[in-house]
Amino acid sequence: MKKTSCVRVTGPLEAHVPGYRRELARRGYSPWTALFHMQLLAHVSRWLSQNGVEPAEFDQRRAEQFLADRCADGYVRFRSPRGLMPLLEYFRGRGVVPEPVPSVPTDPCAKLLEEFVGYLFTERGLAEPTVVGYRWVAASFLSTCPCEGNGDGLANLTAVEVNAFLLAECARRSVGSANNVVVALRALLRFMYLNGHVPTPLADAVPWVATWRDGGRSRALTASQVAALLAGCDRRSTAGRRDFAILTVLARLGLRAAEVASLTLDDFDWRIGEVVVAGKGNRRDRLPLPTDVGEAVADYCRRGRPHNSCRVLFLHVRAPYTAMSSSAVSDVVLRASARAGIAPVRAHQLRHSTASAMRRAGAPLFEIGQVLRHHHTVTTAIYAKDDLDALAGLARPWPGDWS
């Protein structure tokens, strides 16, 4: 098998070959993949030399020019900015090539979006995933608004345009998704009024989505379905041990997918048996660490988790070994449901299952709310509303004759 040392690098990046080779090994790349990355490094170094470009001048524009030349030369690998990113991240981190210069928005709507994002972070204190969702809704709405010139067109914005956008969005969304749009839109309009972009408080003109919080049955899984999800993990493999640990954390602690993705090695206090969870609103709460959860996580850390400098608990099983996103955590549950032969399951359904299991065991709602970290008991009741035996005790006897 070829080794990375077989790649001959000439040009201005030659001195960085040993360090980059160690970086590829640290990231966990296989020998063949590391070989391809070293070949890319050799090509970049040759290109810099042939074009008289210093590494400190290899900015975003020059990187795009390099990729265009690479495609024209007939290369089949690393032809996109994504393929060049590991190399750029390494050399930017060491000050060899310049950092990308953030583009300054010139469009009035783009400037307004950046101001809105800053407002959400600083004034509202929202978490980054929430801000990303709000920004997407804001961008969609502003694309329908008159932002020409210096943005004075927003001063003529009325409730008619707001409701027209909302009706168009709600027509193609579920109730929950439409409610998310309403919340984000109200936040944007409130911000626009406070900062003088619109003369009237249009947020009051946005109607709330009609929802029935207690309607329908719970989305919780049965105990046998949860057991099937866990049993489907091949704990002899690295991916199986990781997936088993993720599913155990979700099912026993009732965490959200984003909370599981944000867990770090430093969040676990093994001596006193507690785990710190970073929840909504930048809250950090301590939860007891059940024995089975601790065993699953410890087994993954000992025999499945890559050994690198990343402190995030759950990592991808293929190089580069980086932190999993919340969608990747939910995909773990989705694949587990397919292996178990049950209907598709997402991560949040296991949060419902945790509440229902605690309720069936006799736990009162306020204790379930403490585990789920709810502010209001009425919110917890949504997660535990399928306790039919408890509800039957509240039902009044039917006065009629069923015969």
Catalytic residues: 256, 280, 348, 351, 374, 383
Q: Roughly what angle, to the nearest 10 degrees, separates helices 365-372 and 347-360? A: 150
Ramachandran quadrant class, 254 (left: phi over 0; alpha: psi -120 to 50; beta: rest): left
Q: Which residue has the tokens 């495609």?
A: 71
Bridge partners, residue 276, by sequence: 286
| Residues contacting 382, CB < 8 A, separation 6+ | 213, 214
Q: What angle do CA 340, 343, 345 make, to 5 degrees?
A: 85
CA atoms 57, 62, 63, 69: torsion sign: negative
Tokens found for residue 298? 């410890």
Q: What angle do CA 38, 44, 47 make, to 5 degrees?
A: 140
3-class SS at 177? helix
Q: What is the spatial distance between Cα 267 and Cα 312, in angstroms, rounded to a whole number?
A: 9
- The answer to whether 291 touches 309, Cβ cutoff 8 Å, is no
3-class SS at 247? helix
Residue 175: Cβ within 10 Å count: 12
Q: What is the spatial distance between Cα 167 and Cα 157, in angstroms, rounded to a whole number?
A: 16
Tokens found for residue 398? 């039917």
Q: What angle do CA 4, 7, 8 make, to 5 degrees?
A: 145
Q: What is the spatial distance between Cα 20 and Cα 90, in angstroms, rounded to a whole number?
A: 7
Q: Which residue has the tokens 């074009």?
A: 51
Q: How far is CA 98 from CA 9, 56, 78, 95, in A?
A: 21, 6, 20, 7
Bridge partners, residue 307, by sequence: none
Residue 96: Cβ within 10 Å count: 18
